[in-house]
Chains A and B, each alone.
Chain A
Amino acid sequence: MIKVFKLPDLGEGLTESEIVAWLVAPGDAVTLNQHIADVETAKAVVELPSPFAGVVRVLHQPAGVVVHVGEPIVSFDIGGADEPTDSTLKTDAVAPAPVEQREANLVGYGPAVERGGHPQRRTRTGAGDASVPAASVEPPAAASVAPPAAAPAPASVEPPVAAPARERPRSTPPVRALARDLGIDLNMVTGTGKDGLITRDDVRARITESLPAPDLHGAEPGATAAQPATSLGDDVRESRSPIKSLRKLTAAAMVQSAFTAPHVTEFLTIDVTPTVELLDSLRADRQFADAGIGILAVVAKALCLAVARTPSLNTRWDEPAGEIVQYHYVNLGVAAATPRGLLVPNIGDAERLDLRGLAAALAELTTAARAGTTTPAALSGGTITITNIGVFGIDAGTPILNPGEAAILAMGAIRSRPWEYRGEVALRKVLTLSLSFDHRLVDGEQGSRFLADIGTILADPARVLTMV
């Protein structure tokens, strides 16, 4: 079994040490606590005792090198079978961040030692002691560059002062942890909190800023699709990349949702020809021609109307409080595929918007996502979600709930299909809706009625008159 030894903090709060000399070489057998190296810290040269008995396999760092605390310096073969995964290796990929370095805290040593054991006696200066020539009072030490306040030296005379160590960005430990998990460098984030404190929302905003333009409606082919189909990669058969950033967040959200909310999915396929005709007539109408109203806006409006009739689809299960939260508004999330991952910005108070307002809000959301300016506020607080899988040419699916929400509606592609129409088979515009809901909050009856309502509106928009 291989054991990796990483450089520990040999003093109190040290960040690095220099390996002065190795006293062993690969292949040497060592006993526990055998002196294997001399290491110099900011405080002391110390003898490094071997933490294992075994055979030295690798010296990861040569002598004379300054090593950060936590970096592997030596590996031992201690016999026995290899562990499937060596947990001691797991943080190896994380390089220490130089910007976070602290000055070594030299406990026990004050300022530079004055030789002789006793402080040098100096003449005390009194305020009225003008008779004493200034030069004999206390000659400034060589290291002191600050001129007396009364006689400021010209700036040009002042020796160049090394730039002060940049303070690390102000934030709180949980937010630093979040930034680390998401791979965000806090130096790149502008704090909007009190006194410039970087908040959780600032970190999230940075994610969206750094995203390439996503596309809500059209499929994003991405770079991989452009590659020839015969080549999946160059020479390697497998490659690995760290799980981080949005992928990590999405994964955690999906796992949390899939394994806490019991999902039920229902499908409904409907003839939406009347809606398509309605959209055509709106486009022909001068009043609505430039409103950009599409099928997504109609589905969004239908969903808001259906929520009003079956409110339990617009709720949240608050486990810690032991309560069900009923929303009396609809913050309508719209899933957006981006090359870096999934974002679900939402339209606040969508139920108050008319068709034109919804279409405008959807356009705005698309533009913001493309420009990477989606605000953290738009990413939080959703109550129910639509995902448009039709843009990928897909008919139906079993969507996973956006965590904390009770329902998610997937709309498939509109296809021309042979369909029963007035007792005959006709070519009609047909669409499948897939609705997943949280069975803790929503029974089959409510879920079915909600889905049927949306279907009814899309199949016969005039039926809205019977619902409002």
Chain B
Amino acid sequence: MIDFSPQLVQLLSIDGERIPRGDFDSWVEDLDGAALLALYRDMVVVRRIDTEATALQRQGELGLWPPLLGQEAAQIGSARALRSDDFIFPSYRENAVAYCRGVNVTDIVKVWRGNALSGWDPYTVNMATPAIIIGAQTLHATGWALGAQRDDVDSVAITYFGDGATSEGDVNEAMVFAASFQAPVVFFCQNNQWAISEPVGVQAHRNIADRAPGFGIPSLRIDGNDVIAVTAATRMALDRARTGGGPTFIEAVTYRMGPHTTADDPTRYRDPAELAEWKTRDPLLRLHRLLTSLGEITPEVEAATAALADAAAAELRAGCIGMPDPEPLSVFDHVYTTPNATLERQRADYAGYLTSFSAEHDIAEQNGKA
């Protein structure tokens, strides 16, 4: 395929060397050894949470899990660039973003265990719960950004979606409205190369980032496995939005190293050589190399990071397995914010239906029927 826009922004090479770049460096000046180590720690912990959740699914404790393996830099770098009053509209794979937002690990897996329709209250962390409908969340983000604009606040909406979602009508509509109203929204696309089993080249003959200018939205194409480039690009886009510059589209080029979800088998459609190639571009590996050269990695730091990750995994496992089953009628609890007569009737009907399962009911019916 012809590469129409070869200018991929990369600030950290695969070998762990910092690549200077005048127009981006100013956005990451404050990223010293300690700050980079904090980002590395986040990435190690979320990878551990992700593998533990995958194991829990294999052990029958979760119904499904969408692994983010390989996308840690894209998620951590962007999430850590946000302000607490910015609002996040994720797809279903942004579990590292939720972790950065302070969502409890047990709450993250609640919905995947089938114990709740959503795992957390969006307003306590300013992050919506996972959107399973592909791309729907981008409309919510544009809408929220229009609201922020009208409230005259400098908070920004950021929405996460994948390469496949850019072919959805919703995403295109969201971009049209964002451009028309110059809404303060950042479109953060993680191009992980695969829309389930469909390679990105099938639906995008040009780079994904090239789509946005057609809507009047400037775009950046960055190395999504480079946490420094991701941080720089996200900060730049957020600043544009905050200062009235309107929306920005970021294509973070990354790779989904695992399956689409635990119900998928990528070996059926993917060349193993491709995975091997991307393993050399692992986002953790290159940051580890940089930190080693900066003298930040010591045996103590390694041990402390591993302990942190293990503790998070243990907390996740205990929280997941110990989760109490929800009350069946709680399914009606958060459908509307105000009481609703139709829903109340459905709740009463369902309560009656549930009691019809019990042996007592059966006996009572058998004997009480006139």
Show the binding face of A for B, using Cβ within 8 Å.
5-12, 33, 43-49, 51, 107-109, 113, 117-118, 173-174, 177-178, 181, 200, 204, 248-249, 252-253, 256, 316, 318, 327, 379-382, 402-405
Point out the residues of chain B lying under 8 angstroms from A252, CB to CB.
Answer: 359-360, 362-363
Point out the residues of chain B lying under 8 angstroms from A47, CB to CB.
Answer: 58
A256–B259 CB distance below 8 A: no
B55–A12 CB distance below 8 A: no
Q: Which of B345-370 contact A (CB under 8 A)?
A: 353, 356-357, 359-360, 362-370
Q: Counting CB contacts under 8 A, is B218 at the interface?
A: no
Listed from nearest, the 9 A-B pairs whose CB atoms lie closest are A8-B60, A44-B265, A404-B367, A51-B59, A11-B263, A49-B55, A252-B359, A174-B356, A108-B196
User: In the complex, A51 Cα to B267 Cα: how many Å?
Assistant: 25
Closest CB of chain A to B253's CB: distance in Å? 20
Q: Counting CB contacts under 8 A, is B17 at the interface?
A: no
A-B contact pairs, 26 of them (CB 8 A): A9-B60, A10-B58, A11-B262, A43-B264, A44-B263, A44-B265, A48-B58, A49-B55, A49-B58, A51-B59, A107-B261, A108-B197, A108-B263, A113-B197, A113-B269, A118-B202, A173-B357, A174-B353, A178-B362, A200-B362, A249-B362, A253-B363, A380-B369, A381-B370, A402-B367, A404-B367
Closest CB of chain A to B53's CB: distance in Å? 11
User: In the complex, A382 Cα to B52 Cα: how many Å?
Assistant: 58
B 61-74 to A, binary, CB cutoff 8 A, 1 in contact else 0: 10110000000000
Closest CB of chain A to B49's CB: distance in Å? 13
User: In the complex, A402 Cα to B363 Cα: how many Å?
Assistant: 10
By beta carbon, the residue of chain B nearest A118 is: B202
Within 8 Å by CB of B369, from A33, A46, A49, A381, lies A381
Closest CB of chain A to B201's CB: distance in Å? 7
Point out the residues of chain B lying under 8 angstroms from A181, CB to CB.
Answer: 359
Q: Which of B218-266 contact A (CB under 8 A)?
A: 259-265
B58–A45 CB distance below 8 A: no
User: In the complex, A46 Cα to B267 Cα: how many Å?
Assistant: 11
Within 8 Å by CB of A249, from B58, B359, B368, lies B359
Q: Counting CB contacts under 8 A, is B199 at the interface?
A: yes
A405–B263 CB distance below 8 A: no
B264–A108 CB distance below 8 A: yes
By beta carbon, the residue of chain B nearest A320 is: B364
Knowing A8-B60, A108-B260, A117-B201 are in contact, say whether A316-B368 is a contact too (CB < 8 A). yes
- Report how many A-B pairs have Cβ atoms within 8 Å: 102
User: In the complex, A51 Cα to B367 Cα: how many Å?
Assistant: 47
A256–B363 CB distance below 8 A: yes
Knowing A44-B263, A108-B264 are in contact, say whether A200-B58 is a contact too (CB < 8 A). no
Closest CB of chain B to A180's CB: distance in Å? 11
Point out the residues of chain B lying under 8 angstroms from A327, CB to CB.
Answer: 370
A403–B367 CB distance below 8 A: yes
Closest CB of chain B to A199's CB: distance in Å? 11
Closest CB of chain B to A382's CB: distance in Å? 6
Besides the known contacts A7-B60, A402-B367, 8 further A-B residue pairs in the complex with CB atoms under 8 A apart: A33-B52, A45-B267, A48-B59, A117-B198, A174-B353, A327-B370, A382-B367, A404-B363
Closest CB of chain B to A438's CB: distance in Å? 13
User: In the complex, A108 Cα to B61 Cα: how many Å?
Assistant: 22
User: In the complex, A200 Cα to B264 Cα: how many Å?
Assistant: 41
User: In the complex, A228 Cα to B359 Cα: how many Å?
Assistant: 38
Knowing A8-B59, A43-B265, A404-B364 are in contact, say whether A117-B199 is a contact too (CB < 8 A). yes
User: In the complex, A9 Cα to B62 Cα: how many Å?
Assistant: 9
B362–A43 CB distance below 8 A: no
User: In the complex, A109 Cα to B269 Cα: how many Å?
Assistant: 11
Point out the residues of chain B lying under 8 angstroms from A107, CB to CB.
Answer: 261, 263
Closest CB of chain A to B350's CB: distance in Å? 12
By beta carbon, the residue of chain A nearest B263 is: A11
Point out the residues of chain B lying under 8 angstroms from A380, CB to CB.
Answer: 365-367, 369
Closest CB of chain B to A122's CB: distance in Å? 18
Closest CB of chain B to A286's CB: distance in Å? 40
Within 8 Å by CB of A49, from B59, B197, B360, lies B59
B367–A405 CB distance below 8 A: yes
User: In the complex, A403 Cα to B361 Cα: how many Å?
Assistant: 11
B362–A45 CB distance below 8 A: no
Closest CB of chain A to B134's CB: distance in Å? 12
User: In the complex, A327 Cα to B367 Cα: how many Å?
Assistant: 13
Point out the residues of chain B lying under 8 angstroms from A118, CB to CB.
Answer: 202
By beta carbon, the residue of chain B nearest A405 is: B367
Closest CB of chain B to A266's CB: distance in Å? 23
Closest CB of chain B to A110's CB: distance in Å? 9
By beta carbon, the residue of chain B nearest A401 is: B367
User: In the complex, A108 Cα to B52 Cα: how many Å?
Assistant: 23
Point out the residues of chain B lying under 8 angstroms from A405, CB to CB.
Answer: 367
Point out the residues of chain A lying under 8 angstroms from B55, CB to CB.
Answer: 33, 49
User: In the complex, A109 Cα to B196 Cα: how many Å?
Assistant: 9
Point out the residues of chain A lying under 8 angstroms from B367, CB to CB.
Answer: 253, 380-382, 402-405
By beta carbon, the residue of chain B nearest A110 is: B197
Point out the residues of chain A lying under 8 angstroms from B359, CB to CB.
Answer: 181, 248-249, 252
Within 8 Å by CB of B263, from A12, A49, A51, A404, lies A12
B363–A46 CB distance below 8 A: no
By beta carbon, the residue of chain B nearest A6 is: B60
A403–B262 CB distance below 8 A: no
Point out the residues of chain A lying under 8 angstroms from B368, CB to CB.
Answer: 316, 318, 404
Closest CB of chain B to A449's CB: distance in Å? 25
Knowing A11-B262, A11-B263, A381-B370 are in contact, say whether A174-B364 is a contact too (CB < 8 A). no
By beta carbon, the residue of chain B nearest A10 is: B58
By beta carbon, the residue of chain A nearest B359 is: A252
Point out the residues of chain A lying under 8 angstroms from B265, CB to CB.
Answer: 43-46
Point out the residues of chain A lying under 8 angstroms from B362, CB to CB.
Answer: 178, 200, 249, 252
Point out the residues of chain A lying under 8 angstroms from B197, CB to CB.
Answer: 108-109, 113
Residue among B58, B196, B262 with most chain A CB within 10 A = B58
Point out the residues of chain B lying under 8 angstroms from A379, CB to CB.
Answer: 366
Point out the residues of chain A lying under 8 angstroms from B259, CB to CB.
Answer: 44
Closest CB of chain A to B186's CB: distance in Å? 28
User: In the complex, A8 Cα to B58 Cα: how many Å?
Assistant: 7
User: In the complex, A57 Cα to B215 Cα: how many Å?
Assistant: 63
B 30-72 to A, binary, CB cutoff 8 A, 1 in contact else 0: 0000000000000000000000100101111101100000000
Point out the residues of chain A lying under 8 angstroms from B57, CB to CB.
Answer: 10
Point out the residues of chain B lying under 8 angstroms from A178, CB to CB.
Answer: 362
User: In the complex, A109 Cα to B198 Cα: how many Å?
Assistant: 10
By beta carbon, the residue of chain B nearest A329 is: B370
User: In the complex, A249 Cα to B356 Cα: how many Å?
Assistant: 15
User: In the complex, A229 Cα to B201 Cα: how many Å?
Assistant: 84
User: In the complex, A403 Cα to B363 Cα: how many Å?
Assistant: 7
User: In the complex, A178 Cα to B356 Cα: how many Å?
Assistant: 10
User: In the complex, A178 Cα to B363 Cα: how many Å?
Assistant: 11
